[in-house]
Structure formats: structure tokens, C-alpha cells
């Protein structure tokens, strides 16, 4: 199948399931549900759930239903972080994915609540899965996602972004790793654990996730170069230097998945290049 067709098929599966998740579980509170749906069902790229599903499939070529709830949960966590990140007390953004941010449309308190709802729903979905068989890998995946979303990852990175004076590129990288990289890495690792990867392959996926996360964020910075008001690699690097770093991280990420033995990685390879070379 052509890469873009394959990607669209994977996206459709995520879209359908996000849609179902937000219909069934929250039907007793339709206004809050409308806000959550506005925030989630609006054209996100669905990178993290696709990475999770794909990594799972690399290690366990069977029914992907086992990994799907985790993929949906990680996308909900990502969407909560975007709603909260856009709030006036954080980045104060009016637009997200080409439409008004949640607080701009529904008010600040409702933005906070919609984000809280998505985060809790994510954990509720995962917790439900833990009752099923092969629990050990599921608990590990749960732990990885929760850790990456919390103080050691996204929330901690956001705190440093807001509160710390960033003086060097090394400090910026550390913040990027927590704020953006940790959840991307968690998607990859959760998929690998759920798929039953061995320790040596987990280490390779850890490296892959870390380098992909950094290359993705630096590419994102390049798409938003010299905006002036935000933490961005343009504070420390020339565009050429940044491009070189994107190339370095991409190369290491791709080498890591090529070092997996006897695994079908062609979609993940193409998806990695697609993410790193994207123009939007
Ligand atoms: C508020 C707890 C809390 C954390 C916020 C992730 C984050 C931390 C803020 C998002 C702001 C931002 C621009 C971060 C850089 C990472 C990034 C490029 C996020 C956007 O991810 P995409 O491109 O978005 O996957 P879509 O819209 O496709 O889902």
C-alpha cells in the first residue's frame, strides 16, 4: 500500500475510536462532552497513537485491539495538554488546529475542566484494560504513559518552560525532552511493551523515541522560526545549525529501528521521515 493511504487508514481507525470514546463514556454530560469533542475531533495529526499502534505491531503481529485503548488514552492526554497549554495562564493562544482554542470559545474554566476530563478519561480507559490477560506488560505501559505525562515528563517540562530562564541550548534540550519528547517516547515504549518486546529491543526503541521526539520538536521550531515571544531553538541556533541537529537526531532514530532484528519496520521508517521532514 502507498504510504499516505496506509497512514490515512491508521488515522481513520484512531478518529473512529476517539469519536466512539467521547460519545459512549460521557453521554450523561452533553455540554462538557461537546467541549471535549470540539477540542479533540478537529484534525489532529494523531502522531502518538499511530506510533503506539505501529510499535505494538512490530513486536506482536496480531489483533491490534489490545493496543488501541492505550493509543486512544495517549491521544487524550496529548489533547488535554494542548488545551491547558493554550490557556491565558500558559501560552495564551487564540487558535489551535485552525480554529479558536477551547478557552476562547467556551471560557477559561471550561477549558480547564475539558482538559481535566480528558486526562482522567485517559486513565479510566487504561485502568479498564488492566483487568484483561497479560497484565504485566499493560501495567508497564500504564506506568510509562503516566510517568511521561507527569512531573518527570510533560508537566515537569511545561513548568520549567514557564518558570525557568533558559540560558543555553542544553537547557532547552532538556526541557524539550520532558515537554514534548517524553510523551512521544512513551507512545513508542508503551507499544513495544504491549507487544512483548525484549529488553534489548526496548533499549533500541527508547533511543528511537528520544531522538524522534527531539527531531520532531526541533522541526516544529523551524516551522515557527523567529516568532520572538516563545521558547524556540532560534534563541540559540542558526537555522542551519538547527537543521543539522534535526538530521543528526533523525539519523540516530532511524539507525535504532534498523538495528532491530527480523522486524517489519518499513511503515515506522517512512512515518519517522514524514514527521521529521514535514512542512506543517
Ligand atoms: C499544559 C501540562 C501541559 C503541558 C503542555 C505538549 C505541551 C506541554 C504543550 C503543547 C505546546 C507545544 C506547541 C508543544 C510542542 C510540541 C508540539 C509540536 C505539540 C503539538 O503536537 P502535534 O504536532 O499536534 O502532534 P496535533 O495538533 O497534530 O495533535
User: For 23-82, how does the pLDDT look when each residue is reduced to its tens digit (9 = 90+)?
Assistant: 865 556 788 889 999 999 999 999 999 999 999 999 986 667 889 999 999 999 999 999
User: Which atom of ligand 1 is the closest one to the Cα of 85?
Assistant: 1
Neighbours of 139 (CB within 10 A): 14
**Average pLDDT of span 166-189:** 96
Ligand 1 pocket check: which of 145, 179, 224, 231 to mutate, most ligand atoms within 8 Å of Cβ?
179
Q: Ligand 1 in contact with 180 (CB < 6 A)?
A: yes
Residue nearest to atom 19 of ligand 1 (CA): 180
User: For 138-152, how does the pLDDT look when each residue is reduced to its tens digit (9 = 90+)?
Assistant: 999 999 999 999 999
* Rounded distance from Cα 81 to ligand 1 centre (Å): 7
Give backbone dihedrals phi and psi of 182, rounded to 5 degrees, phi first.
-60, -40
* Rounded distance from Cα 82 to ligand 1 centre (Å): 5
Q: Ligand 1 in contact with 82 (CB < 6 A)?
A: yes
Q: Are strands 99-100 and 95-96 parallel, antiparallel or unpaired?
A: antiparallel
Ligand 1 pocket check: which of 51, 82, 163, 219 to mutate, most ligand atoms within 8 Å of Cβ?
82
Q: Please state, in angstroms and rounded to a whole number, the distance separating the CA atoms of residues 138 and 133.
A: 9
Residues 6+ apart with CB under 8 A from 20: none
The three-state DSSP-derived secondary structure of 238-256 is CHHHHHHHHHHHHHHHHHH
| pTM (2 d.p.) | 0.93
Nearest to 51 by CA among 252, 265, 199: 265
Amino acid at each position: 500500500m502507498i504510504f499516505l493511504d496506509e497512514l490515512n487508514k491508521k488515522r481513520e481507525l484512531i478518529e473512529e475510536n476517539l469519536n466512539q470514546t467521547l460519545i459512549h463514556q460521557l453521554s450523561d454530560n452533553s455540554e462538557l462532552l461537546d467541549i471535549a469533542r470540539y477540542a479533540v475531533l478537529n484534525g489532529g495529526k494523531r502522531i502518538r497513537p499511530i506510533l503506539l499502534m505501529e510499535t505494538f505491531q512490530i513486536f506482536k503481529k496480531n489483533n491490534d485491539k489490545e493496543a488501541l485503548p492505550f493509543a486512544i488514552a495517549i491521544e487524550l492526554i496529548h489533547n488535554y495538554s494542548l488545551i491547558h497549554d493554550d490557556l491565558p495562564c500558559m501560552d495564551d493562544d487564540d487558535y489551535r488546529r485552525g480554529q479558536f482554542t477551547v478557552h476562547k470559545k467556551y471560557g477559561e474554566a471550561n477549558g480547564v475542566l475539558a482538559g481535566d476530563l480528558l486526562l482522567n478519561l485517559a486513565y479510566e480507559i487504561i485502568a479498564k484494560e488492566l483487568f484483561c490477560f497479560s497484565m504485566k506488560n499493560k501495567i508497564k505501559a500504564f506506568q510509562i504513559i503516566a510517568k511521561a505525562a507527569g512531573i518527570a515528563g510533560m508537566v515537569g517540562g511545561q513548568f520549567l518552560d514557564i518558570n525557568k530562564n533558559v540560558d543555553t541550548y542544553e537547557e532547552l534540550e532538556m526541557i524539550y525532552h520532558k515537554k514534548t519528547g517524553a510523551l512521544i517516547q512513551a507512545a513508542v515504549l508503551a507499544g513495544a511493551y504491549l507487544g512483548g518486546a525484549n529488553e534489548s529491543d526496548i533499549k533500541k526503541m527508547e533511543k528511537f523515541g528520544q531522538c524522534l521526539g527531539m527531531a520532531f520538536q526541533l522541526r516544529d521550531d523551524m516551522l515557527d522560526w523567529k516568532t520572538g515571544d516563545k521558547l524556540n531553538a532560534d534563541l540559540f541556533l542558526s537555522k542551519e545549525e538547527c537543521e543539522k541537529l534535526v538530521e543528526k537526531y533523525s539519523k540516530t532514530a532511524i539507525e535504532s529501528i534498523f538495528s532491530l532484528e527480523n522486524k517489519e519496520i518499513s511503515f515506522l521508517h517512512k512515518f519517522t521521515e514524514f514527521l521529521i521532514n514535514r512542512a506543517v
